[in-house]
Amino acid sequence: MSGQLESVSELESTGKPDVDSDSVVPASRMGYSVPATPDVEHEAYELTEMPVLPAGSVTSAISIADPPNLSAADIKKMRRAEYIGFCSLLWSMLMEGWNDGTNGPLLPIVQNHYHIGFTVVSMIFISNCIGFVIGAVANVRMTQKLGFGRTIVIGAVTQAIAYCIQAAAPPFPAYAVAPLFSGFGIALQNAASMVYVVHLDHNSSTKMGILQASYGIGALVSPLSATKFASMQHWSFHFLASLGGSIINVISLTLVFRFQHLDAILRKAGQTVREQSNFQGNLYGQIFKLKVVHLLALFALAYVGAEVTLGGWIVTFVVDERHGGSSSGYLTSGFFAGLTVGRISLLWFNKLVGERRVIWLYISLCIALEITVWLIPSLIGNAIAVAFIGLFLGPVYPIVMNIAGRLVPHWLMSGAVGWIGGLGQMGSALLPFITGALSSKFGVMSLQPFIVSVLCVMLGLWAAVPADIRRSD
């Protein structure tokens, strides 16, 4: 990587009135490229060997000696563009949570409707898994060739197609294939949303927490709808509500991002834009050379898998093992309510303790609570414990994505963060399927020891994530 900074000539400002100093913003808020500095919060990241940009590539930060002043109207316009873009991604993430929160309350009715057992109904999750894998792998190339705006809209359209199929309650093979489309679409949207937020200049950690909280809101509201429809003859009409939300998502993402590339979107919002590499080689090879990418991706797989497995199977567990009634579906809402609250209300605590250290605390508390659900046969006690598990699990994923944004070289960030997020979403399909297979052989009581095991694996993976590392842009 060239150590020299390219210079850019100053823009002429003749004819513009003087601007009050309060309305002057730095180059980083004007869409100009500036030297990259990792946004490190509460952690010390020291030098370690990271991949350097291959010879023949260009990725340089551009500095402006005397950037022109912006009027208050220009600043307001940029802030509005950032706000609208972020809000559109909040709805996209809400629809992702809506999708994941649907399965829990509907699993028993799907089994009864199609007369299938645990293993067969788990094909819904394995279909989702295949879609997530394809989406996570395709995201790097699609973003490189099509750009941010087109890729995220394709993801939203694909998700809507899945709900069109499921709303008709077709024969089970067709019903089970539909999640492949939603998995593919959500993987693309998830990766794009993560990349957008980690590129924001100010309060990116807080905005990541808010983004993930919107996922929790979707996962909180969806079981309320699914539980209501599960008691009706046309239970699959729940997916008409899902389809309506997806159509809004497609329209919103199309109008806001207008099929543009990420750098154009960031400039419009007044964010720092670092010059991207023109490297035309194997981006996958460059990404997979990073050990930290593999560790964070495996951690994300375990985390998202545990989250969705608990949210998806806890209703079946309570009905079969705790003899819960028809209202047991609301336990899923309680879990995701805790998840949502934790991602917002614990932001201050994360900063106080430190992001790396607080994850040790949260996962340990979740293990202790899971053991109480496993060993104490109390319906009310289990419901309360599940809500608190959601509370402590909630902040973990946003923290992981924040750290990924700080550790991964900037020119690989889009693909790397997309891969981490995509593999994490793959866990939301793979681990619930494994749970279904275990339940078929050992009963649904196997859910709790399985979740405890996954949480312990997360602790081991987190211990392996390097703390002293510096992103090399």
- Residue-level pLDDT at 357: 92
- Residue-level pLDDT at 274: 62
Domain 73-464: homologous superfamily in CATH:
MFS general substrate transporter like domains (1.20.1250.20)
**How far is 313 from 239, CA to CA, in rounded Å?**
19
**How far is 121 from 115, CA to CA, in rounded Å?**
9
- Residue-level pLDDT at 336: 84
**How far is 53 from 307, CA to CA, in rounded Å?**
36
Angle 457-400-42 from CA coordinates, rounded to 5°:
115
Model confidence, pTM: 0.73
Q: Which amino acid is at 416?
A: A
Kindly report the number of other CB atoms within 10 A of residue 141's CB atom: 13
Alpha-carbon torsion angle 308, 309, 312, 313, nearest 10: -160
Angle 457-461-466 from CA coordinates, rounded to 5°:
165
Which one-letter DSSP state was computed for residue 276? P
- Residue-level pLDDT at 276: 52
Contacts with 176 (C-beta within 8 Å, 6 or more apart), sequence order:
123, 124, 127
Angle 256-261-267 from CA coordinates, rounded to 5°:
75
Which among 301, 317, 302 is positioned nearest to 386, based on CA atoms?
Answer: 317
- Residue-level pLDDT at 17: 43
- Residue-level pLDDT at 11: 40
Residues paired with 6 in a beta bridge: 62
Which residue has 């602790």 as its token pair? 459
> What is the residue extent of each domain of the chain?
73-464
Which residue has 């394995």 as its token pair? 126
Does the CA dihedral 230-236-240-242 come out positive or negative? positive
pLDDT by 10s per residue, the chain, length 473: 444 444 444 444 444 444 444 344 444 444 444 444 444 444 443 334 444 444 444 343 333 333 456 778 878 888 888 889 999 999 999 999 999 888 878 888 999 999 998 888 888 988 988 888 898 888 888 988 899 999 999 999 999 999 999 999 999 999 999 999 999 999 899 888 988 888 887 777 888 889 988 988 998 889 888 888 888 888 999 999 999 999 999 999 999 999 988 888 888 877 766 655 555 556 777 888 888 899 999 999 999 899 888 887 888 888 888 877 767 777 877 888 898 899 889 989 998 998 889 999 999 999 999 999 999 888 888 889 999 999 999 999 989 888 887 888 777 777 787 788 777 877 877 888 888 888 888 888 888 999 999 999 999 999 998 875 555 55
Residue 170 dihedral angles phi and psi, to the nearest 5°: -75, 175
Run of H or E including 158: helix 148-167
